[in-house]
Amino acid sequence: MGKAADAVSFQAQLKGNHCFGCGGENPHGLHIQSFWAEGDTAVCQFTPEAYHCAAPTHFLNGGIIATVIDCHCICTAMADAYRRAGREIGQGEAIWYATGSLSLNYLRPVLISADIVLRADILAVEARTTHLVCHLIAEGKTAVEAKLTAVRVPEQWMSAKG
């Protein structure tokens, strides 16, 4: 995957992140971990728990799928913004993004027992937006293709008055 053995995930470097999918500060969250693979591609491995199931308990819930894709892409956009600013993630003024749009094509069901790999590729960067495509791969096959637009938000967005 290209991840160095001593690499620190994007999420581990973010301060104040209480997100259900990617926030290290949410004790009930999914705690996904994303890393640069090469160039503008980031990867994430996710192993579902039995309680992440859909109605048929052998398949992964579609909402959980959407959440891990959303969070992996948003964290990739933030990591890229820090990289373009010449800073380590979490250093200096915080950089936050939110989801502007997310579209998913569910191509095949994902077994709850599958180890999942997410590959997010940055397609384009504009002044306040980053466009990404993400593939969720299970059992060696793409199960979900997604497109996401990440929108940069001001730091006060994180406050209760934001």
Report how many domains make up the chain.
1
Lowest mean pLDDT of 8-17, 62-71, 72-81, 104-113, name the range. 8-17
Span 43-64, mean pLDDT?
Answer: 97
User: Is position 138 within any domain?
Assistant: yes
Q: Which domain holds residue 109?
A: 10-158
Burial 22-31 (b: 16+ CB within 10 A, else e): bbbeeeebbb
Please check whether residue 3 lies inside any domain of the structure. no
For the whole prediction, is pTM greater than 0.85? Answer: yes
- pLDDT score for 156: 84
Cα gap 74→101, rounded to integer Å: 11
Q: What is the CATH number of the domain that holds 21?
A: 3.10.129.10
Read off the pLDDT band of 159 (50, 70, 90).
confident
| Model confidence band, residue 161 (pLDDT cutoffs 50, 70, 90) | low
Q: What is the mean pLDDT of residues 99-107?
A: 98
1 within some domain: no
Q: Which of 140, 157, 138, 156 is nearest to 59 (CA)?
A: 138
Residue 121 placed within a domain: yes
Domain assignment present for residue 93? The answer is yes
Is the confidence at residue 1, as pLDDT, over 50?
no
Position 66 in a domain: yes
3 band by pLDDT with thresholds 50, 70 and 90: low
How many Cβ atoms are within 10 Å of 12's Cβ, its own excluded?
A: 14
Q: Tell whether the model's pLDDT for residue 13 goes beyond 60.
A: yes
In a domain, 57, yes or no: yes
